[in-house]
Each structure stands twice: as C-alpha cells, then as structure tokens.
Amino acid sequence: MAEESTRRRNVSSSSYGNSKKEEGFVYDDQSASQDDADGKGLSAKHAKFLPRGQQHVRPRRLPPPSTLTEFIQQNWEWIPPVIYTLLAAFTRYYQIGKSNVVVWDEAHFGKFGSHYLKRDFYFDVHPPLGKMLVGLAGLLSGYDGSFEFKSGEAYPSHVPYTAMRVILATFGVGMVPIGWFTAVELGFSQRACHLVTLMVLCDCAWATISRFILLDSMLLFFTFTTVFGLTKFHNQQWRSFSFEWWFWLAFTGVSIGCVDSVKWVGFFVTALVGLYTIEDLWEKFGDLQMPIRIYLRHWAARILCLIITPFMVYLASFKIHFLILNHSGPGDAQMSSLFQANLRGNDFSQNPLEVAYGSKITLKNMGWGGGLLHSHPHSYPTGSQQQQVTCYHYKDDNNHWLVMPRWDEKEYDPNGDLRFLQDGDTVRLIHASTGRNMHSHPLPAPITKLNNEVSCYGNATVGDHQDHWAVEVVDDLNMGSKDKVHRIHSLTTRLRLKHVAQGCYLRAANAILPQWGWKQVEVSCVKENNPRDAHTYWNVESHWNDRLPRGEVKLYRSPFFRDFWHLNVAMMTSNNALIPDPDKEDILASTPYQWPWLNVGLRMCGWGDQQIKYYLLGNPIVWWSGTASLLLSLVALGVYLLRMQRRYNDFEPGQWDHVLYVGKVALIGWFLHYFPFLAMGRVTYIHHYLPALWFSVLMTGHLLDHFIFKSKRLSERTKWTVFIFCALAVIETFLWFRGIVFGIEGPIQDYKGLLWRKSWNIY
C-alpha cells in the first residue's frame, strides 16, 4: 500500500474545468496530442519510445575492423540471431530424412507438387503459391513428378524426398531469426527477445510441422514476415514517406500477398494489418496540423501497398499456376468447359460440333464453381426417394446423358435421318449408365426446399410427361446472340433447360448435399424464371456421336479473370463442404476449445512398433504460458483501465501507448487467428492453431517484459533468476519431447513420461 500512495494521482484542477468536453475517455491528459503543451505531436512521442537500435541513429561510420574481437564488437547485435538461426537449422534439419515414408499430409501436398512438375491441371482448396514452392523444391532437388505420394508408402529411390523436405524446412528455420527481429522491433528487452526466440526455436509443434513436405512452414513463415513488416513499419512512422517507411510498407504488402496465396488462413493476419492501418489513419485524421494533401497521401500509400500489392501477388500466383498447369489433369471438371478445351491432352475440340438426337453428352453448369450434371444409383432418402441427380466435379461415366425425343414422338432410330437439336426443342435426357430419365415433380428439393426436386426415374419404356425438358438457348460465344443460333454447338452454346410440365428451370447452385449425396452439389428445378441467373446456364461439354464428323472448333481463349474468379469460387465452395460428418468419426480432428490448453495431439503417421512415429504436439510450457498470458493480459488491461478511471498514474508519458500497442498486436492477432475457427462449420485440426500461437508467444514475452524485465522495482538478480528459469523450462521441455519431433523408433512404450495429459493419444 505504501507503494500505491506514493504514486502520483494527477487529478488536476484543469481536468475538472474541462468537464464540458469530457466523454469518459481516459487517455486525454496523457496521450491526446492536440493538447500537448509542448506541441511536439505524434513524431515526438514515437521518437521517445523507439526500441533499441532505432533510438540512436547509428553513430558515425566506424573504421573497418582489424581484429576478430573488434568485428564482433561492431556487429554485436547480429550475434544472437545468427546463433539462433544455426540452432534452428539443427532442430529443423536434424535427421530430416529418417522416415522414408509419406507422412501425413505429404500425401496431398507432395502430390500437388508433382502435378506442377508434370504440368497436369489439378484442383485443391488452397491457393497455389505454397504448392508451387513444393513443386519448385521438387524441381531443384531433381524430382521428376512421377511418384503418387500414397499415404504411408515408402519413397522409392528416385524421389529425393530428403532434399525436398530440407528446402521446405528452410522456411521453418527462417521463422526463428524473424521471431528475434520482431521482438526487437516491438521494443522488448534483451531478455524478452531471447525468451521469445527460444520459444519459437523450441516449440515442438512448429519444429515438427516444418520438417515435412507441407504448406504450414510457409504459412507460418509468411505470417511471421507480415507481423515483422508491420512492426518495422510502425517504427518508421515518425519519418513518413522516407525510403525505409516505403520499403517496410511495401514489404508488409508483399508478405500479405504471399501469406494469402499459401492458405486463406492468411486473411486473418491481413485483417490484423488492416485494423492497425484503420486505427493509424483514424489517429492521423484527428491530427489537425496535418495538411489534407499529406493525409490523402497516407491513404494512397496504404491502398497501393496494402491492397493493390497483395492483390497483385495473389493474382500473379494464379497466373503462374495457370501457365504451368497447361495439361489436362484430375482437376479439369472444376473449371469452365472453355478453359478445359485449352488444356493440352484434352479432346474437346475433337467433339462433333453440332448436337443431334442420339448424341451422348455431358452438361456443364456455367455458374461459378459449377460442375457436371450427374446421377448415380443411389436414391434420395427424402422426398420421392427416387434416384439422385447431382452436380459432380470430376469426370466419370455417370455424367453421360443421351439426348432422346419426347415420349409422344417417334422413338429414336439409330439408322434414321440425323436430326439436330435446335433451340426450343423438347427432349428427354436419359442417364446413360442407369438408363433412367431425368425427371422433376412438384416435391421440395432436399436442401433448397422452395425448388422442385430433380430425380432420375423410369427407364426406356416407363416414363411420363414429367421427363420432358425444353432446350432454351441463351446465346453462343461463337455465333452470337440467340437469334443467330440454330443448332446447339458443344462448348460454346449457353442454354437453359426448362421443365415443360412445371415451368421450372434446371439449376445447380452451391448447396451441398449431406453424406447420403456424397457431398455433391444439389440439383433442383427453380420455379422463378430469372433469365440472368448463371446457375441455370448449361453448356454441352463432351459430345460423342459416331454418326457425326469430328469438329475442329476454333478455340476461344478463356479470359484469365474469369478463370481466376471461377477457381476461387470453386475453392470456397469445396472449403465450405469440409464440414464434420456426424456419422463419421475423425480421430485426427479436434475442436478449437481444445487447442489453447493443448488437450490434443495428432498422430502424423502409423503407430506400429516398426514405424518411425511423429506426434504433432506443442511444447506444453510454450502453449500453456501463452494461454495464461492472454488471460492475464485481459486482467491487466482491466486493472489498468480501472486505475486510469481513478486517475492513478502508472505510466510515464507515451509508455502506455507503447505497452498498449504491443498488447493490441498480440491480443487482437491471436483473437483474429482463433475465433474464426469457432464460428467456422468446417473440420478443424490442431495445426490450425499454429499461427495463433505466435501471438500468444508474443504476449508471453510482452507480459514478462512489462512486469519483470522492465520493472524498476525488481533487482537484476531476480530478473536473471526468472529469465534463466523460463529459458531452462522451455529448453528442457523441448529436449524431453524431442523424440516426437525427430521421430520415435521402436515401440512407443519405451519412451516413458510423455503422457502429461490423459487426453493425448501418444501411447
């Protein structure tokens, strides 16, 4: 209490007198720059609290070192990051090739990397940059792309998996020095910098996940660089528009572009930068001394560097993606027919040009993310219980449909006159492999209940007028508007299918059927006639008819922006379809509630005694201390705010701003990387927490720094004790758990003492 009472309570008479302007805001007398008596404003404030290294601009140029000691003295600040980088190289590279089998998601990302080497078009829910880097790693290490990356399979001798892992692990090595420099830029004391870096170095989960052919090391690396760029930029604020200022702003922008192009999780760190920028611009908006022109320049700089630049990087990664993948491959059907026709090895251009009765065709939906009209011998569990009709994104014989005349017309005669399909014709569509007719009736569709259900029903002789569909041409890319189109051309003619009896239109929007429909896209018949709805547009994609000559369609380039947007919608749709299946148990999945407490780990491979076993599990000390500091930070924030409301003065001028700034970066950063997963419907795994972990580590460093290392009350001795204790705890725990990072050989039971929590399935 004695301490308390000696503190200054600055309830000055002036703040009473000011009461007509009072709004209950607390910072006025400490931070509001327009009230600063000395009028130094923003820049003065920032200059005072610059972190080490920026505070004194480097003194005059020193003579070149003549001895080693002198060299070390001159470059003292570079020694720790270099040492940490070397240590990081050890933790990330040590025995990296020990397990010679495809571990965990290497099965996915290794395969995608192979596609770049083989240049086959594939589809995946993640943006392409990370996988292109995997491909590049393969290229550099001399891999030819021929391996299938089946989960758990041993690598054959011609796959240089060790070299690929090493190249990708380099991103994981890079995290460590960047962690160091970020801590420095945040103004941490030396001890806090060391602790934060040690935590990055010694977290088992970060180390483990960096050692395989995965995207996470890149995602983490670019997340780190983005935060680093932000902190660097923050420290240049006092000299706006200088070269360094521009450089770090642009650096942040490029990092954002990269992190977004690896995984969409990068949008969260983007949001952090966005919030920082909004707050910054809001501050500047209140700076009445700043000329409007300068203010607008600030806006323009941020739009250029933080919006346009990342977007260009993102676009460029897709452009390169399309340029590399120019062969037909497994992902074709996700894209528009025209795009596919431009892929090598694709025979669409050999299709007969004009569709006739008796032709076998596939129909492609032209909405964003649309697939191929599909049916299979499984029935709806609801409604009519007839055979399902869906939209499917992969090529399959179940996508084939036969164009047949109506029931009241003469039956199709394979030897009779050719009859071409024309605008306005009414036809029956027969599903080729089951022989059923596509049918609709006034029953609600399973998901979009306001639309009619579409099913397959009957056979070549059983059917009714509900099987009749009228072909309505929208237009043709080649021939132009509707009135110039006489016959239906494959690929280029856009058409709609109208159910004659109900007057509804065949539509496939992005509604996903549950497990009974294999998560395919629902097809329904929409009663509302909206002629502009692209989800009701279809085109003929593949076309087979022996009686017609092969066409040589002049190919139209598919415009890049259309493909780009199409692919992104398809990614979004597939991502949303990754919802947990209540009928199927996924032992690897975990819920966000479990992560901060480290309730779960993840077996990355088979658990047999002969296998080399990796277990994705954080360093408990790092994770738990991170979570504890996040909670503590909220308490501290509350206490400080309450004390401010009572006008206790706990901070020197400007100090509060800095403490708050670091706290906001850590707390809001963590929040942004964590809470979206709670709201997301999709399956979540523990490695989704790894980016958020960085912010909780920063918070640990920040709080230790604030309460201990920078405390004026504690003695050096106490500080050393705390520092050594924390550092040893982190390092020792890492060493204790090193087996799960470097790979455990032999029976797991031989490794005792790893089960710190009962919920870990280590044993």
Partner 1 sequence: MSFMERSANVYATGIILGAVAFAVRLYKISNPDEVVFDEVHFGKFAAYYILREYYFDVHPPLAKLLLGAAGWFVGFDGQFDFENIGDSYTEHHVPYIGMRVLPAAFGSLTVPLAFAIMRECGYPTLVAAFSASLILFGKSLVHNGHVAQVRLILLDAALVFFMTLSLYSYIRFRKLRYWEFTFEWWAWMIATGVSLACTLGCKMVGLLTFATIGTAVLVDLWNLLDIRKGLSLEHVAKHFFARALGLIVIPFVVYLSFFWIHFKILIRSGTGDSFMSPAFQETLQNNEMLLNSQEIRYYDTVAIRHKDSKVYLHSHVERYPLRYDDGRISSQGQQVTGYPFNDTNNFWQIVPTKSLPPTGRGRIVRHKDVIQLLHVNTDSNLLTHDVASPLMPTNQEFTTWPANDTTRYDDTLFEVNILEAHDGEPWKTKSGQFRLVHVPTRVSMWTHSQPLPDWAFKQQEINGNKNAQDRTATWFVDEIVSDETGNDIRNRTGTVEDKPVKRLNFFRKFFELQMLMLQHNAGLTASHPYASGPINWPFLISGISFWTHNDTQRQIYMIGNIIGWWTCVMALSIYVGIIGADLLARRRGVYPIPDPLRNRLWNSTGLFFAAWAYHYFPFFLMSRQLFIHHYLPAHLASALLAGGVFNFIVSETINYPISVAGPSTRLRPKTHAELGLRSFIAVGVFVSALIAMFIFLSPLTYGTPGLDGNQVNRRRLLSTWTLHFAGK
Q: Which residues bind partner 1 (CB under 8 A)?
A: 9, 11, 15-16, 19-20, 22, 24, 34, 282, 285-286, 288, 444, 447, 449-450, 528, 583-585, 587, 642, 645-647, 679, 681
> What gap in Å lies between CA 3 and CA 7, rounded to an integer?
7
Give the nearest distance from C-beta 579 to partner 1 in angstroms.
10
C-alpha distance from residue 743 to each of 149, 207, 218, 604, 605 (Å): 20, 12, 21, 10, 10
Q: Output 25 or 720, the one with its CB closest to partner 1.
A: 25
Go through 74-86 and write b for each residue having 16 or more CB atoms within 10 A of its CB, e for each that does not.
Answer: eeeeeebbeebbe
Give the nearest distance from C-beta 647 to partner 1 in angstroms.
5
Q: Output 146 or 515, the one with its CB closest to partner 1.
A: 515
| 88 contacts 173 by C-beta, under 8 angstroms | yes
* CA-derived radius of gyration, the chain: 32
Give the nearest distance from C-beta 120 to partner 1 in angstroms.
27
Give the nearest distance from C-beta 627 to partner 1 in angstroms.
23
From the CB of residue 602, how many other CB atoms can be counted at a distance below 10 Å? Answer: 21
| 268 contacts 224 by C-beta, under 8 angstroms | no
Give the nearest distance from C-beta 11 to partner 1 in angstroms.
6
Q: Output 7 or 9, the one with its CB closest to partner 1.
A: 9
> What gap in Å lies between CA 126 and CA 607, rounded to an integer?
29
Can you read off the two tokens belonging to residue 732?
């020792």
Give the nearest distance from C-beta 678 to partner 1 in angstroms.
9
Q: Output 451 or 700, the one with its CB closest to partner 1.
A: 451
Give the nearest distance from C-beta 260 to partner 1 in angstroms.
24
C-alpha distance from residue 729 to each of 164, 176, 723, 734 (Å): 33, 18, 10, 9
CA nearest neighbour of 207 among 167, 173, 182: 173
Q: Output 144 or 528, the one with its CB closest to partner 1.
A: 528
Give the nearest distance from C-beta 381 to partner 1 in angstroms.
9
Q: Output 68 or 292, the one with its CB closest to partner 1.
A: 292
Give the nearest distance from C-beta 527 to partner 1 in angstroms.
10
Q: Output 9 or 465, the one with its CB closest to partner 1.
A: 9
- Strands 452-457 and 437-444 come out as antiparallel
279 Cα distance to chain centroid: 25
C-alpha distance from residue 543 to each of 56, 361, 402 (Å): 73, 4, 10
**Residues linked to residue 620 through DSSP beta bridges, in sequence order:** none
Give the nearest distance from C-beta 277 to partner 1 in angstroms.
16
| 351 contacts 342 by C-beta, under 8 angstroms | no
In eight-state DSSP terms, residue 553 is P
Three-class DSSP category at 383: coil
Q: Output 17 or 63, the one with its CB closest to partner 1.
A: 17
Q: At what angle do helices 216-236 and 129-140 cross, to 10 degrees?
A: 110
Q: Output 162 or 448, the one with its CB closest to partner 1.
A: 448
3-state helix, strand, coil in the chain (%, to 5): 50, 15, 40
Q: Output 125 or 680, the one with its CB closest to partner 1.
A: 680
Give the nearest distance from C-beta 681 to partner 1 in angstroms.
7
112 Cα distance to chain centroid: 16
Give the nearest distance from C-beta 595 to partner 1 in angstroms.
19
- Strands 468-476 and 480-481 come out as antiparallel
Q: Where are the beta strands (DSSP E) in 577-637?
A: 602-603, 615-616
> What gap in Å lies between CA 498 and CA 507, rounded to an integer?
10
> What gap in Å lies between CA 540 and CA 359, rounded to an integer?
11
- CA–CA–CA angle 92, 675, 269 (5° rounding): 55
Q: Output 437 or 573, the one with its CB closest to partner 1.
A: 573
> What gap in Å lies between CA 657 and CA 639, rounded to an integer?
16
Widest distance between CA atoms in the chain:
107
> What gap in Å lies between CA 185 and CA 177, rounded to an integer?
12
Q: Output 250 or 290, the one with its CB closest to partner 1.
A: 290
Three-class DSSP category at 388: strand
Give the nearest distance from C-beta 289 to partner 1 in angstroms.
11
Q: Output 408 or 583, the one with its CB closest to partner 1.
A: 583
| 505 contacts 498 by C-beta, under 8 angstroms | yes
Q: Output 296 or 450, the one with its CB closest to partner 1.
A: 450
Give the nearest distance from C-beta 449 to partner 1 in angstroms.
4
Give the nearest distance from C-beta 646 to partner 1 in angstroms.
5
**Residues linked to residue 472 through DSSP beta bridges, in sequence order:** 496
Residue count (the chain): 763
Give the nearest distance from C-beta 454 to partner 1 in angstroms.
17
What backbone phi and psi angles, to 5 degrees, belong to 317?
A: -65, -35
Q: Output 418 or 642, the one with its CB closest to partner 1.
A: 642
Q: Output 405 or 444, the one with its CB closest to partner 1.
A: 444
| 459 contacts 435 by C-beta, under 8 angstroms | yes
